[in-house]
Amino acid sequence: MTKRGFASWGRYPHSEQSGLPLHWRSDIASQLKGSGQLAWGNGRSYGDVCQASSGRVMPMRALNRLIDADWETGVLRSEAGATLEEILAVAIPKGWFLPVLPGTQQVTLGGAVANDVHGKNHHRRGTFGSHVVSLELYRTDRGLLNCSRINSAELFNATIGGLGLTGIIGSVEVQLQPLQSSNIDSRCFRFQSLAEFLSLCEQYDTKSEYSVAWLDCTAKDARGVFSCGNHADDGAAEVAVKGRLKVPFAPPLSPINRPSVALINRFLYRWQGRKPRLRQGYRDFLCPLDGIAHWNRAYGRAGFQQYQCVIPRPEAEAALEEILARVRQARQGSFMSVLKVCGKARSPGLLSFPLPGISLALDFPQRPALNPLFRDLDAIVSSSGGRLYPAKDAHMSAEHFQQGYPRWAELESLRDPALLSRFWQRVTDAAGCVR
């Protein structure tokens, strides 16, 4: 057994994690013993939501076999360790696509369900969990369960966005979406203020399957580039080829700092808006960072934190202005700053992140100066009724979490006694819950 590969994507907080890879679903029962364990997918969540409280994870990546596929109806069942990239490689040539693809294809099916991920089409399709037909769940107290909206519906709902705590997800059945072409016809527009961004959303979100905006948060105003797109009507359905770029190692000091970010942002602002209309492959449009393997290493050994919040619509503009002003004032640059309008679709999950409103994600190199900044940002988010994304989080307080996710106690009551993450320990501790 090797020790590599059990650092979360942000490489912060550090925690020693180890585990024996699972190779067969029939072995889940014998390996799930004791307490404080957690399934480990592909290590794409940023903070400690993927870290087991005991330090013993169950690596699931080898469980990546397809179980059933109906190419007439587009219903696919696969073991939970398969990545979305692996699913697309099989589905696209058959004329099907995932209804929801987050910013990376490198997450596992199980991880996509446990974090109820969303993509650039949230305003139309909602979260990943809304398209799950059924789940195979293994629990220490109830054994193997087949959960769906009809069978064990309570556990089915709780497992969607359940942060992997309701049992080990063995397989996932998902409804795919028909595809004409794997290319996306995209348009992009530069904007100079949040108001301008919002009017672009209003104008184009109804006409577009996908929409997202990149923000230059080092600039004086909230300038950025809004892009939207639809699958092309013609052209081939082709699987994206793997990128060749990669960050080979994490340098001792991060090359990502205030001056370099300002420079990169200025370039990105010019470069992204250079062509108002563009036909792109789905990966280049939906998962641009997948083109650079291990891009998280660019933040150096200290790692980074992503601050992703969602603010309900009425308060959104004012709260976001305040957040961006505070970030500029702290002189903490972020070059992957992403704005996205979330739709009204409700997920079956108890702890799904999106709310009808606007989501903002900011990446910061890890340093002590982030603590006061995050404290201030948290105050703005919580007073405007917003919340943070557990999959990205490494700092949120128990109080803030419980305020943002009032149904957390329901999930706690459905948690498998053998499973516990460091995140869950952190955000439920203040309530003095018994374990």
Partner 1 sequence: MKRILIIGATSAIASACARRWAQPGTRFYLVARSRDKLATIARDLEIRGASVSQDCLDLDRLDTHRGLLDRCLATLGPPDLTLVAHGTLPQPEESRDQAAVAAACFHTNATSTISLLTEIGGRLAQAGGGRIAVLSSVAGERGRPSNYPYGASKAAVTAFCEGQRAWLFRRGVAILVVKPGFVDTPMTAGMEIPAALSTTPERVAADIDRALGREHDTLYTPWFWSPIMRVIRLLPTFLFKRMDL
- For residue 236, state whether it binds partner 1 (rule: CB under 8 A): no
CA 424 to chain CA centroid, nearest Å: 17
Binding piece for partner 1, criterion CB under 8 A, among 22-30, 191-199, 205-213, 302-310: 22-30
Binding flag, residue 69, partner 1 (CB under 8 A):
yes
Query: Quick one: which of 23, 207, 275, 331 contacts partner 1 (CB under 8 A)?
Result: 23
Among 282, 290, 272, residue whose Cα is nearest residue 121: 282
Interface residue with partner 1, options 8, 13, 39, 66 (CB under 8 A): 66
Tokens of 372: 């006061």
Does 150 participate in binding partner 1 (rule CB under 8 A)? no
Q: Is the Cβ–Cβ distance between 78 and 87 less than 8 Å?
A: yes
Backbone angles phi, psi at 196, to 5 degrees: -65, -40
Interface with partner 1: number of residues (CB under 8 A): 18
Residue 1 binds to partner 1 (criterion: CB under 8 A): yes
Q: Which of 33, 258 has the CB closer to partner 1?
A: 33
- The one among 20, 195, 263, 430 contacting partner 1 by CB under 8 A: 20
29, 36, 54, 67: residue in contact with partner 1 (rule CB under 8 A) = 67
Q: Quick check: 73 binds partner 1 (CB under 8 A)? A: no
Binds partner 1 (CB under 8 A): choice among 68, 154, 202, 399 = 68
Q: Where are the beta strands (DSSP E) in 294-418?
A: 304-312, 337-342, 357-365, 387-388
Site membership for partner 1, residue 95 (CB under 8 A):
no
Binding flag, residue 62, partner 1 (CB under 8 A)? yes
Residue 20: how many other CB atoms lie within 10 Å: 12
Does 264 help bind partner 1 (rule: CB under 8 A)?
Answer: no
Give CA separation, 378 vs 82, 231, 365, 370, 435, in Å: 35, 37, 18, 12, 28
Q: Are 405 and 158 in contact (CB under 8 A)?
A: no
Q: What number of helices (H) and strands (E) belong to the chain?
A: 13, 19
Closest CB to partner 1 among 61 and 120?
Answer: 61
Give the residues lining the site for partner 1 (CB under 8 A): 1-5, 20-21, 23-26, 62, 65-69, 90
